[in-house]
Structure 1
Amino acid sequence: MSSLTIAIVVVFVLGYLFIALESVTKVNKAAVALLMFVFCWTLFMLNPSSYITGFSGQELLNQVSAIIEHHLGSTSTTLFFLMGAMTIVEIVDQNGGFNWVRDVMKTKSKRSLLWRIACLTFILSAILDNLTTSIVMIMILRKLVHEHKDRIIYASLVIIAANSGGAFSPIGDVTTIMLWNKGVITAAGVISEILIPSVVSMVVPAFVLQFMLKGELETGEELHLKSDYEVLDFTSKQRKAIFFLGVGGLMFVPVFKSITHLPPFVGILLVLGVLWTVTEVFYRRLRRGTEREGTQRRVTNLLRRIDMATILFFLGILMAVACLEEVGVLTALGQGLNETFNGNHYAVTGIIGVLSSIVDNVPLVAGCMGMYPVAEMGEMAVDGIFWQLLAYCAGVGGSILIIGSAAGVVVMGLEKITFGWYMKHISWIAFLGYVAGILSYWVIRTYLIVTPL
């Protein structure tokens, strides 16, 4: 390995360290990721001929530009998908589309509420992103459960169920979106074969956690859920239309891709365009001259609420990983892992899943996509064991520690759950579900599905 390659790796590792220590340094991880991106490629340009052979002079520079533009184009498909999905969810949420969830959750039994939370979070996170689902569920829990010691148990289950639900859906988690965009998994393949392991990884922890809850929830006038429908701009029918257009549209995206063979981000932009048009028509029908006119819930205003820091973080980290791919580091690392574990994909992806609870799973998955080429047939083919296990492990493994996923971090902040409490009471339960899911996948692949060689 050349000194220049070592320098690129050092920059990436230092950047990764600062991203992991964001809570200590107070420097936003997006800023660090962008610096990683620029510094890695700047070092690459000091001697590009050592990585790109057969070219010189202007031809070499043109080749480098083509390589960077190729990686940028690949990265942009994921970024536009995320921006479109985030905007759709924001439109549905801000216009009261999720209010019906409260009525579904009403119950007096603590254990009954736990299972309702688990199932609903699991389903929603497969359609929405796990971060948004977690926020919605925590807001509802605050209205249903007043005892904080009980609520943090429910909140912990929200983290587990959200990560499990996102793992089997091509649109449920950033990592599955990346793998789907890359073409290493298909929507039908990941849903059909990862659904059961994902369910197992949620059901096992929920079964254990129910024994930590006893009795019934408090009832009374103070816990009555007041509807906020009257403060919204749209009628009940209009809100339902927005909900079904938004959520139904997200579910339609994989179908659109299979029909048109266009990239997934095209489908998500189609749904956004339709939803945007419908809401504009609804607003035009509102009576003019009322307080509703000039509302802040129009899409043009909601676009300002999109978390651009997250988008820029993904841009920086994915482009930095692309540089590691170009200098050959990822290929060498992938070969080293295969030699260490004798090509056992369960061991490799299982370790990656555990690592994803410590560090961000986005660069881990991006790195794996650069490490391993897609084969024509076998376990490394499209929808092969390796890629499907990677989707499962990177998503579900983030539940083992509370800092291991976006859902965990946001719930940690909202409910003031400490790292130590979660690790002591929940981590082993989440790990149990994680391992049980992998075992169920092994059973499915060994006895129910024959992998072509």
Structure 2
Amino acid sequence: MTTLTIMIIVAFVLGYACIATESLLKVNKAAIALLMFVACWTLYMFDPMQYLTAIHGYTGDLSGMAAAVTSIIQEHLGDTSTTLFFLMGAMTIVEIVDQNGGFNWVRKVMKTSSKRTLLWRIAFLTFILSAILDNLTTSIVMIMILRKLVTERNDRLIYASLVIIAANSGGAFSPIGDVTTIMLWNKGLITAVGVISEILVPSLVSMIIPAFILQYQLKGELHMPEIKEGADASVGDFTERQRKAVFWIGVGGLMFVPVFKSITHLPPFVGILLVLGVLWTTTELFYRHLHRGHDDEGTQKRVTNLLSRVDMSTILFFLGILMAVSCLSEVGVLTALGDGLNTFFDGNHYLVTGIIGVLSSIVDNVPLVAGCMGMYPVAPTGDMAVDGIFWQLLAYCAGVGGSMLIIGSAAGVVVMGLEKITFGWYMKRITWIAFVGYLAGIVSYYLIRTFVF
């Protein structure tokens, strides 16, 4: 490992430490992430030829070096942008549904006086939705619903933490529930039937055990906001029928995104933008038919105004983190780390994937899984075959492992931004609980592979 590579790693670790201690430094994590991104790539440019030659087999001269690096950065930026546009589209759709009363009827359906009953309803609804949609979109939807149901902040933080755990667990057993499972599925390393049949139970275990522990942190009765008759029908608002239409177009559209991808083979963010366009047009038509005297007040809930409510700091945080991690990938750190793990643990797949899962809570799981896919060839039979132990464990560990730190998954980052949960609070209160569920899931998978399949 060269001195320059070590400097890049140090820059990343220092940036990560500043993000982890955001509550102490009082500096927004997005600013740190952007500085970390720029610092890593600036250091890379001190001697890019060593990486271009080793990683990409570049054989050109110095004059073409800048163009080669620019092309690499643009490629990573393109991959990152698909995530960012997906995130912006999903956040805007959920904001439209929320602001126009789309979640009001869901609140009525889920109404209960028991905090623990609500916890289990939230857990299973999040788990199921994240398998159908994805953990990122599901987290946004569930937080918006929670805001309608729970007014006490301390309780809502516990529910929000469970949303992160349940969303990541639900996404791990579905071929379309998480970016990493989509990658493994598209590459042909796992099959839809195989991953669902063998990872469903471990994923459920990794959600149920943390929920069981967290329920003991909730005491007393739940005091939900009163839903007064006609209170939601304020001037400029939609009718009940229109609100339900907004809900089903928004949430139903999000469920349609995987179908759209499978039909057109276009990236998921294109489907999200399609849903946003349809929902935007629908709400504009609804407002167009409102009484003219109500237009001024109704304008505040139109999409053109709601776009300003999208949390851009979360978007920029994603940009900084993903681009910084892409630099680590470019200098070969992630690949070397995975290779070292395999050598150190003598090919024990449970330990290797288990460690990768823990690492996925620290750095983004996408490049980790991508590194593993590039490192290990698919075998015709055995643990490295299609639907073999290694690939299924990788799908589980990379997905569920991200719950251990709040910045370890897309779901965690979004919830962190929406509910203003600090890194320290989550690490102190939730990390060990998520870790217990994570280990229990691995044990259950071992039992299933040993005694069932």
TM-score by length of 1: 0.81
Instruction: Determine the structure 1 residue equivalent to 2:281.
Output: 277
**One of 155, 161, 165 as aligned partner of 2:166:** 161
What percent of counterpart residues are identical? 66
Q: Which runs of 5+ in 1 are unaligned?
A: none
Shift in CA distance, 19/440, structure 1 to aligned 2, threshold 3 Å: same
Structure 1 residue 192, shift from structure 2 partner: 5.6
Q: Deviations over 1:186-227 (max 9, x none)?
A: 87776565443322222233345556778x8378xx964336
Q: Aligned letter for 2:312? A: M
| Alignment of structure 1 residues 176-195 onto 2, 5 Å | 193-195=198-200
Equivalents in 1 of 2:62, 2:16: separation in Å? Answer: 34
**One of 78, 83, 90 as aligned partner of 1:78:** 83
In the alignment, does 2:443 pair up with 1:439? yes
In the alignment, does 2:105 pair up with 1:104? no
**One of 322, 331, 335 as aligned partner of 1:331:** 335
Instruction: Determine the structure 1 residue equivalent to 2:59.
Output: 54
**One of 226, 229, 232 as aligned partner of 2:228:** 226
Shift in CA distance, 152/264, structure 1 to aligned 2, threshold 3 Å: closer
Q: Aligned letter for 1:284? A: R
Q: Contact 1:375/1:382 (CA < 8 Å) preserved in 2? A: no
Superposed CA RMSD in Å reads 3.8
Equivalents in 2 of 1:75, 1:403: separation in Å? Answer: 16
Q: Aligned letter for 1:95? A: N
| Alignment of structure 1 residues 258-337 onto 2, 5 Å | 258-290=262-294, 294-337=298-341
Q: Aligned letter for 2:335? A: T
Task: Identify the range of structure 1 (231-240 vs 177-186) with the bigger mean alpha-carbon deviation.
Answer: 177-186
Equivalents in 1 of 2:145, 2:368: separation in Å? Answer: 32
Equivalents in 2 of 1:226, 1:184: separation in Å? Answer: 53
Instruction: Determine the structure 2 residue equivalent to 1:256.
Output: 260
- Residue 291 of structure 2: SS of its match in structure 1? coil
| Alignment of structure 1 residues 25-424 onto 2, 5 Å | 25-51=25-51, 52=53, 53-109=58-114, 111-126=116-131, 127=133, 129=137, 131-142=139-150, 157-168=162-173, 193-208=198-213, 217=221, 224-226=226-228, 228-231=231-234, 233-290=237-294, 294-355=298-359, 359=362, 361-362=363-364, 364-370=365-371, 372-373=373-374, 375-377=377-379, 385-386=389-390, 388-400=392-404, 405-406=412-413, 409=416, 419=425, 423=428
Q: Aligned letter for 2:311? A: D
Equivalents in 2 of 1:135, 1:200: separation in Å? Answer: 22
Structure 1 residue 175, shift from structure 2 partner: 6.4
Q: Contact 1:78/1:178 (CA < 8 Å) preserved in 2? A: no
Q: Contact 1:155/1:411 (CA < 8 Å) preserved in 2? A: no
Q: Contact 1:170/1:177 (CA < 8 Å) preserved in 2? A: yes
Equivalents in 1 of 2:222, 2:317: separation in Å? Answer: 42
Structure 1 residue 344, shift from structure 2 partner: 2.8
- Residue 306 of structure 2: SS of its match in structure 1? helix
Q: Contact 1:78/1:181 (CA < 8 Å) preserved in 2? A: no
Instruction: Determine the structure 2 residue equivalent to 1:20.
Output: 20
Q: Aligned letter for 1:50? A: Q
Equivalents in 2 of 1:316, 1:132: separation in Å? Answer: 21
Structure 1 residue 335, shift from structure 2 partner: 0.8
Shift in CA distance, 38/274, structure 1 to aligned 2, threshold 3 Å: same
Q: Aligned letter for 1:298? A: R
- Residue 442 of structure 2: SS of its match in structure 1? helix
Q: Deviations over 1:375-397 (max 9, x none)?
A: 44566678765555444334433
Q: Deviations over 1:5-25 (max 9, x none)?
A: 222222222222212222221
Q: Contact 1:365/1:390 (CA < 8 Å) preserved in 2? A: no
TM-score by length of 2: 0.81
Equivalents in 1 of 2:150, 2:357: separation in Å? Answer: 31
Q: Contact 2:20/2:424 (CA < 8 Å) preserved in 1? A: no
Q: Deviations over 1:104-160 (max 9, x none)?
A: 2233455544432322333345546354245335424425xx7x8877765654454
- Residue 443 of structure 2: SS of its match in structure 1? helix
Equivalents in 2 of 1:308, 1:179: separation in Å? Answer: 30
Structure 1 residue 101, shift from structure 2 partner: 2.3
Task: Identify the range of structure 1 (114-123 vs 439-448) with the bigger mean alpha-carbon deviation.
Answer: 439-448
- Residue 49 of structure 1: SS of its match in structure 2? helix
Equivalents in 1 of 2:125, 2:272: separation in Å? Answer: 23
Q: Aligned letter for 1:393? A: C
Shift in CA distance, 279/191, structure 1 to aligned 2, threshold 3 Å: farther
Shift in CA distance, 199/108, structure 1 to aligned 2, threshold 3 Å: same
- Residue 233 of structure 2: SS of its match in structure 1? helix
